[in-house]
Amino acid sequence: MYILTVPLFAFFTVLTVLVMAVGLRRLMGMTLSPLRTAIAALIAFFAASPIITAMAGTALSSKHPGILPGLWFILLGVVIAMLVGMLFLVISEALVPTGSLPGPLAGRAATCKSAGYSPAMA
């Protein structure tokens, strides 16, 4: 049973982060770099669990048989975690706007140029 647990956990974690990344991109309504979006989705993913645990408290314990209050707290926690991810995107976009820094290929071309050979030869 343990052999299946780890790959399934990893698969659904990656799937959740990808869904959060797509959701963050759609909610922001603008194109952002994939790295910045993935970092925001990871922040939202890791922030969701503590937020849900702090808000729900005893509503998620096994003493309360009702499932609906727990689902509402989980939904609210995920929404707040998405807001945390969006906050990261807004702050990172304000501090370092997209396109203000050269990309990795431009850095490689500049390094090759200073060394005296063309990037095609590298």
Determine the pLDDT at residue 121.
53
Give the model's pLDDT for residue 113: 73
The whole-model pTM stands at: 0.75
pLDDT (tens digit, 0 to 9) for every residue of the chain, 122 residues total?
Answer: 678 888 899 999 999 999 999 999 998 888 888 889 999 999 999 999 999 889 887 766 667 667 777 788 889 999 999 999 999 999 998 998 887 777 677 777 777 777 666 555 55
Cα 122 to Cα 120: distance, rounded to the nearest angstrom: 6
Could you tell me the residue range of the domain that residue 60 belongs to?
A: 2-121
pLDDT of residue 33: 87
**pLDDT number for residue 108:** 73
Q: What is the model's pLDDT at position 47?
A: 95
Report how many domains make up the chain.
Answer: 1
- What span, in angstroms and rounded, lies between the C-alpha atoms of 40 and 69? 28
